[in-house]
Structure 1
């Protein structure tokens, strides 16, 4: 299964990447909207782990582009803010399947990837 991690903080993205790779996933990283869109323009992802607050660009634009380009891809949103904490993210992104705090342990994130990725 292919996983795209879109996370502005390289150290957090690497933590998740290493853990998911140990679980057998093919993982790519992007740090901005432009990086994520460039990747999704030429390749696919089954699951996208997407930080809701990117330093460069919009997470909702990434989710929207993924929905258009790869309609079967699911998005797991992560954040360290209270923005969308009411669950309204599911009204804004049709491909959203989960909403987690950024501090979620990597093994729990991997379990969510497995669950929503069908493995």
Structure 2
């Protein structure tokens, strides 16, 4: 399973990456929209772990590009805000499959990614 993490906080991205690798995933971590688009242009990705609030660029743009370029990729959104907490993200982003708080335990995030990465 190939996973792309798009997370501006390098420490959080590294923590998630390490846990996903323990589950046997091949993981790439980038910190912004440009990095995510570059990976999606050239690599097959099964699951994208995408912080809804990026320091540079737009998470929505990344999800839209993924829907076009890698339509099979499922997006697990994470956030530390209450934006979209009503679940409306699933109406706006067709490839969204989960919406979790950034504070979710890394092993729980890894289990969600493993689940969605095995579907399809």
TM tier, smaller? over 0.9
Structure 1: 5+ residue stretches without partners: none
Q: Is the 8 A contact 2:51 2:78 kept in 1?
A: yes
- With the length of structure 1 as denominator, give the TM-score of the two structures: 0.98
Give the equivalent residue in structure 1 for 2:45. 45
- Alpha-carbon distance between aligned partners in 2 of 1:23 and 1:85, rounded to the nearest angstrom: 28
- Alpha-carbon distance between aligned partners in 1 of 2:37 and 2:44, rounded to the nearest angstrom: 10
Q: Does 1:59 align with 2:59?
A: yes
Give the equivalent residue in structure 2 for 1:115. 115
- Alpha-carbon distance between aligned partners in 2 of 1:79 and 1:56, rounded to the nearest angstrom: 15
Structure 2: 5+ residue stretches without partners: none
Structure 1 residue 40: deviation in Å?
0.4
- Alpha-carbon distance between aligned partners in 1 of 2:112 and 2:16, rounded to the nearest angstrom: 12
How many residue pairs are counted as aligned between the two chains? 119
Structure 1 residue 93: deviation in Å?
0.7
- Alpha-carbon distance between aligned partners in 2 of 1:14 and 1:91, rounded to the nearest angstrom: 30
Any runs of at least 4 consecutive aligned residues in structure 1 with deviations exceeding 4 A, and if so which?
none
- Alpha-carbon distance between aligned partners in 1 of 2:2 and 2:87, rounded to the nearest angstrom: 26
Give the equivalent residue in structure 1 for 2:14. 14
Superposed CA offset, 1:46-82 (max 9, x none): 0000000000000000000000001110000000000
RMSD: 0.8
- Alpha-carbon distance between aligned partners in 2 of 1:53 and 1:14, rounded to the nearest angstrom: 17
Tell me the secondary structure at the aligned position of residue 83 of structure 1: coil
- Alpha-carbon distance between aligned partners in 1 of 2:108 and 2:6, rounded to the nearest angstrom: 17
